[in-house]
């Protein structure tokens, strides 16, 4: 499976985080995941329903199908027709399930509301697991990108979030999403990380004691 980012791209993002944190006591973390849930139940349900529809449509053509089978088999019986329908049904379910795993079809099956919920849940989970919520001044910012869903969650701890208007956070998120659609993901992400750094320096400039509390490296999440 193709990696989400090359080593060079990961290094560029890490450098952008390090630069953004220069001159501020705040922290920026970036995490990227292929998909925030496996959505297997949705894909299987789609395949089963699709298989049932195909089977029902085939019932309308029982007579020509039976005639066709009679021309192909030496000793035909009605049992072969039943076996044929069963085989076609399971083949249809298998093919539809495989198709459902294609990203473009997956997004259509799952729907925006479900994807939004799953990405939000996974982002909050990583926000806690990564320790972004435990910085000294509660100034941690997590940029969480889920590729399949093409969604970005920006979670900011209470210290910095209380000082920034929602519109500013949204503009940062929109910039990253535009980068995903325009195939300039890393470039747009670097800009958005820099914007987070500007906001942090504005409200939380560095003091004499300015430890780097969180790892600057981009986190590549492969698990769901």
Distance, in Å, from the CA atom of 191 to the CA atom of 196, rounded to the nearest integer, reads 9
pLDDT at 182: 87
Sheet holding 151-156, edge to edge: 151-156, 140-146, 27-33, 219-221
The whole-model pTM stands at: 0.85
Distance, in Å, from the CA atom of 180 to the CA atom of 160, rounded to the nearest integer, reads 26
Neighbours of 79 (CB within 10 A): 8
Distance, in Å, from the CA atom of 20 to the CA atom of 13, rounded to the nearest integer, reads 10
What is the pLDDT tens value at each position of the chain, 224 positions in all? 677 889 999 999 999 999 999 999 999 999 999 999 989 999 999 999 999 999 999 999 999 998 888 888 888 888 888 999 999 999 999 999 999 999 889 999 998 999 999 999 999 999 999 999 998 889 999 999 999 999 999 999 999 999 999 999 999 999 999 998 888 999 999 999 999 999 999 999 988 777 888 999 999 997 65
pLDDT at 97: 95
Class for the domain spanning 7-37+111-221: alpha beta
**pLDDT per residue as tens digits for the range 146-166:** 999 999 999 999 999 999 999
Tell which phi-psi region holds residue 20, choosing left (phi > 0), alpha (psi between -120 and 50) or beta.
alpha
Distance, in Å, from the CA atom of 30 to the CA atom of 43, rounded to the nearest integer, reads 29
pLDDT at 88: 94
pLDDT at 78: 83
8 A C-beta contact, residue 189 and residue 176: yes
Instruction: Count H helices and E strands in the chain, helices first.
Output: 9, 4
Q: What is the domain partition of the chain in residue ranges? A: 7-37+111-221, 40-109
């Amino acid at each position: 499976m193709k990696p989400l980012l090359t080593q060079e791209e990961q290094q560029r993002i890490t450098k952008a985080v390090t630069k953004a944190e220069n001159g501020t006591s705040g922290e920026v973390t970036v995490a990227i995941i292929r998909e925030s849930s496996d959505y297997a139940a949705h894909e299987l349900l789609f395949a089963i329903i699709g298989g049932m529809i195909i089977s029902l449509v085939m019932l309308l053509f029982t007579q020509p199908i039976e005639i066709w089978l009679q021309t192909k088999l030496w000793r035909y019986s009605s049992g072969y027709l039943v076996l044929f329908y069963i085989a076609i049904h399971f083949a249809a379910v298998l093919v539809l399930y495989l198709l459902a795993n294609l990203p473009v079809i997956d997004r259509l099956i799952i729907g925006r509301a479900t994807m939004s919920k799953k990405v939000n849940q996974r982002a909050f989970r990583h926000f806690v697991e990564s320790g972004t919520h435990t910085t000294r001044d509660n100034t941690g910012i997590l940029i969480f990108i889920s590729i399949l869903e093409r969604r970005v969650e920006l979670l900011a701890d209470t210290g910095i979030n209380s000082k920034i208007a929602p519109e500013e956070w949204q503009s940062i998120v929109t910039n990253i999403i535009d980068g995903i659609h325009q195939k300039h993901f890393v470039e747009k992400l670097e800009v958005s990380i820099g914007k987070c750094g500007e906001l942090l320096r504005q409200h939380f400039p560095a003091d004499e004691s300015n430890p780097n509390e969180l790892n600057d490296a981009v986190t590549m999440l492969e698990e769901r």
